[in-house]
Amino acid sequence: MSPASDVFEPYPQAEAVWSYLEQRFGMDPAAFADHRLWQRAAHKGVWLLHAAAEPATDIKVDWPGLAVLRQPLPRGFPTNAFLRRFGFAATRSCVDVDWDTALRLMYNHQIERDPLDDRGGPYAIRSPFGTLGRGWVRHGRLVLDTPKAWANQLLPRTELAETE
């Protein structure tokens, strides 16, 4: 890989991303007025970085800010981390669940649910304590895209229940 391909550059199709987020999730582009999108030449990922920051060119930056897309549009969809941070701004394609259901989803359980549209996702799954991440309805079941390790990292649900 050449040094030039290591450098992050402003993402040329930023407007398309803001437009997608508005159409799919109803997120007002103004919510991202203080942010810019960046991409590394030879990579597919698109990153969200605060406008006051700019990836240095004399230092090899490994990653800037928060990953928004792992693949460019139209194939890509928002990352879990992005939706957890900005899911509050979504007004469409949201599935609001209670905390008990949220915990079940975090423990990789699937919940019976009709899809909101004929695409089956992605949806922003939200709980009373914030957005859980990205979800889908597949075969009539709502699933949360979680790292598989989550279930091991979290307390067993029985033990968790004792603290509530």
Partner 1 sequence: METLRRYAPIVDDVEAFLTAASTPLPRVVWANRVRIGDDAMADLMGRRCPQAEPLAYLDGTWRVPADGPRPGKWPEFTLGLIHTQEEVSLWPVTVLDPRPGEAVLDLCAAPGNKTARMAVAMSDAGSVLANDRRWSRIQGIQDIVARMGLTSVMASHGDGGQLPGQARFDRVLVDAPCTGEGTTRKARGRSPELRNDYHKLQAVQKGLLRRAVELTRPGGVIVYSTCTYAPEENEAVLDGIYPEKAAIEPIELPAEVTVDAGVAEWQGERFRADTANAVRFWPHHNDTGGFFVARLRRL
According to CB under 8 A, which residues from 12 to 41 bind partner 1?
Answer: 34-35
Q: How far is CA 84 from CA 12, 43, 121, 146, 154, in A?
A: 25, 23, 16, 12, 17
Output 63 or 116, the one with its CB closest to partner 1.
63
Q: Which stretch binds partner 1 (CB under 8 A): 18-26, 80-88, 111-119, 137-145?
A: 80-88
Computed on alpha carbons and rounded to an integer, the radius of gyration of the chain in Å comes to 18
Output 34 or 118, the one with its CB closest to partner 1.
34
66 binds partner 1 (CB under 8 A): yes
Q: Which of 42, 56, 73, 161 binds partner 1 (CB under 8 A)?
A: 56
**Length of the chain, please?**
164
132 binds partner 1 (CB under 8 A): yes
| Tokens standing for residue 3 | 């040094």
Pattern of binders to partner 1 over 101-120, x per CB under 8 A? -xx--x--------------
Output 20 or 86, the one with its CB closest to partner 1.
86
- Candidates 99, 95, 124; CA nearest to 112 is 95
Output 59 or 139, the one with its CB closest to partner 1.
59
* Longest distance between any two alpha carbons in the chain, whole Å: 55
What secondary structure does DSSP assign to 122-164, as a single string? -EEEEETTEEEEEEEEETTEEEE---TTHHHHSPPHHHHHHT-
Rounded-to-integer distance, Cα 145 and Cα 149, Å: 12
7 binds partner 1 (CB under 8 A): no
Q: How far is the CB of 26 from partner 1 (least distance, A)?
A: 19
Output 58 or 112, the one with its CB closest to partner 1.
58
